[in-house]
């Protein structure tokens, strides 16, 4: 069974044009006449957590596709794979602005996203927030802050994997407790005393039980991962069952970090987090030689789409991105530096330092 495309299923009841998701009004609105669609989108329902081990064992290249008819293109510059509705013609990459787009077809289809976090922050709010963000960047070029370059703002849905697991860990370590002794020493011919810190080591052990819930691993390669980390978290507990109506008018990035790769990243992160939780249990003031034995159970996953607003631009032949969390509005971004401003700031610091030294010398 093929699901009806967003463009056909969510057409305007007044004029028949494409209805698109409006984050500000939290409804489907006709982009031509402004009529609000009467279509009801999924807002509640069970979101299934899939068994990770069974899925990895059974996949073997057999994966299910996106629940909408879509055209896919791959950017030859940043390698992002974008999915959008058939009635839209892609001119430039939504991630880096490059015009080097080619049709993309892979022999292996996608694992279908069964949930998504709807775009909640409106485009008008994002534009204003980005302008203010630029204005607060002291060392950015003035022209950048004035123009704000928000004409290249794009609303996107990027892929994430979420993972759950119950962990049981046994740990051993050496617990260190500080104690102090008084030491006598001679300085400038005078006898003085000081407190010297020592560490008393003793064996320690314990156990940890912890549940990791909705740990995020990004499946995007079009958006800089560091920037995405900075605008997290995406509150996936507020996700709704997948409905292509929420995607109407937006570009969806196809995941390029597959389930097996994402699970490997997650397990590495989970191991480190478990060690950190065990370390918190160690008594005393410090520790060394921490050893853990970790066992995991109830490992599940789901594939979810999350909303971002992305501003990509090129300044003096160098690409930059600004990312806005489409649900919370949190901003993270890159910007060029004005070396003139930096030199003036450095000169000001030097002048102030000289003045302070001169006053101190006079006194």
SS (H, E, C) 114-174: CEECCCCCCHHHHHHHHHHHHHCCCCCCHHHHHHCCHHHEEEEEEEEEEEEEEEEEEEEEE
Three-state secondary structure string covering 62-106: CCCCCCCCCEEEEECCCCCEEEECCCCCCCCCCCCCCCCEEECCC
The answer to whether 315 and 147 have CB atoms below 8 angstroms apart is no
Query: pLDDT tens digit string along 107-162?
Result: 455 688 889 999 999 998 998 898 888 877 665 666 655 554 556 788 999 999 99
pLDDT at 243 exceeding the cut of 50: yes
The better pLDDT of the pair 174, 130 is held by: 174
- CB-based contact 332:231 (threshold 8 Å): yes
Q: Are 75 and 220 in contact (CB under 8 A)?
A: no
Residue bearing the bigger pLDDT, 57 or 201: 201
Residue 311, φ and ψ in degrees, nearest 5:
-115, 115
pLDDT for residue 183: 92
CA–CA dist 3, 66 (Å, integer): 9
* pLDDT (tens digit per residue) in 45-62: 788 899 999 988 887 655
Q: Which residue has the tokens 């293109």?
A: 73
Q: Residues for the chain: how many in total? A: 363
Q: What is the pLDDT of residue 141?
A: 64
**pLDDT at residue 363, as a whole number:** 61
**Which residue shows structure tokens 């950017």?**
75
Q: What is the pLDDT of residue 103?
A: 52
SS3 340: helix
What pLDDT is stored for residue 101 in this prediction?
46
Structure tokens at 357: 């030294």
User: pTM here?
Assistant: 0.74
pLDDT of residue 45: 76
pLDDT of residue 121: 92
With a cut of 60, say whether residue 297 has pLDDT above it. Answer: yes
pLDDT band, very low/low/confident/very high, at 201 (cuts 50, 70, 90): very high
Range in 8-22, 37-51, 134-148 with the lowest mean pLDDT: 134-148
Asked if 81 and 209 touch (Cβ cutoff 8 Å), the reply is no
Between residues 84 and 126, the one the model is more confident about: 126
Q: What is the average pLDDT score of the chain?
A: 80
């Amino acid at each position: 069974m093929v699901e009806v495309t967003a463009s056909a299923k969510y057409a305007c009841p007044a004029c028949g044009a494409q209805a698109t998701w409006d984050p500000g009004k939290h409804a489907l609105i006709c982009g031509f006449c402004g009529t609000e669609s009467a279509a009801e989108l999924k807002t509640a329902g069970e979101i299934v957590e899939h068994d990770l081990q069974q899925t990895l064992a059974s996949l073997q290249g057999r994966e299910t596709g996106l629940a909408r008819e879509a055209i896919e293109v791959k950017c030859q510059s940043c390698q992002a794979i974008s999915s959008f509705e058939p009635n839209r013609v892609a001119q430039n990459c939504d991630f880096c602005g490059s015009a080097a787009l080619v049709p993309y077809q892979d022999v292996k289809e996608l694992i279908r996203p069964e949930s998504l976090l709807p775009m909640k922050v409106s485009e008008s709010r994002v534009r204003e927030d980005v302008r203010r963000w630029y204005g607060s960047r002291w060392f950015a070029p003035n022209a950048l802050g004035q123009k704000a370059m928000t004409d290249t703002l794009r609303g996107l849905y990027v892929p994430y994997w979420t993972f759950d697991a119950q962990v049981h860990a046994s740990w051993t370590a050496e617990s260190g407790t500080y104690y102090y002794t008084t030491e006598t020493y001679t300085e400038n011919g005078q006898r003085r005393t000081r407190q010297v810190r020592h560490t008393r080591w003793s064996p320690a052990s314990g156990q940890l039980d912890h549940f990791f819930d909705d740990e995020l691993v990004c499946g995007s390669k079009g958006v800089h991962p560091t920037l995405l980390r900075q605008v997290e978290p995406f509150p996936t507990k507020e996700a709704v069952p997948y409905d292509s109506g929420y995607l109407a008018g937006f570009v969806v990035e196809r995941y390029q970090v597959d389930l097996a790769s994402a699970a490997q990243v997650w397990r590495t992160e989970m191991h480190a987090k478990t060690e950190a939780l065990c370390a918190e249990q160690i008594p005393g003031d410090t520790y060394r030689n921490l050893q853990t034995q970790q066992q995991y159970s109830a490992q599940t996953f789901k594939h979810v789409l999350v909303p971002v607003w992305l501003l990509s631009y090129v300044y003096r032949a160098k690409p930059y991105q600004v990312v806005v969390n489409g649900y919370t509005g949190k901003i993270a971004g890159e910007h060029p530096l004005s070396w003139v401003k930096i030199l003036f700031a450095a000169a000001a610091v030097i002048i102030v330092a000289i003045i302070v030294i001169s006053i101190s010398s006079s006194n």
